[in-house]
């Protein structure tokens, strides 16, 4: 079940966020040109940095969503 309050809070946060358009567009152009990096990552390093990795994935997802509405 969807937590409406949490969703409303997230929507409000995103609408008030200051977006760095130039760097987001630059990152996206590089991604579409070069694709996703194929570098190997040590599993222990992933586990040790799990929260930072998840935060970065969340941020990139939000940036893609921002671009889709620009």
In angstroms, the Cα distances linking 5 to 2, 11, 61 are 9, 10, 21
Decide if 17 contacts 58 (C-beta within 8 A).
no
Q: Express each pLDDT in 8-49 by its tens digit.
A: 888 888 888 888 889 989 998 998 999 988 888 899 999 999
Does residue 63 contact residue 24 with C-beta atoms inside 8 Å?
Answer: yes
pTM: 0.67
Identify the pLDDT of residue 67. Answer: 82
Domain residue ranges of the chain, discontinuous segments joined by +? 41-70
The answer to whether 21 and 70 are in contact (CB under 8 A) is: yes
Three-state helix/strand/coil letters over 3-30:
CHHHHHHHHHHHHHCCCCHHHHHHHHHH
Instruction: Tell me: pLDDT of 61 over 70.
Output: yes
């Amino acid at each position: 079940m969807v937590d409406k309050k949490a969703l409303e809070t997230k929507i409000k946060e995103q609408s008030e966020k200051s977006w760095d358009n130039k760097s987001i567009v630059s990152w996206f152009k590089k991604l579409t040109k070069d694709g996703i990096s194929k570098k190997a990552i040590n599993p222990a390093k992933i586990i040790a940095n799990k929260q930072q990795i998840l935060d970065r994935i969340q941020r990139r997802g939000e940036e893609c969503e921002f671009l889709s509405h620009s």
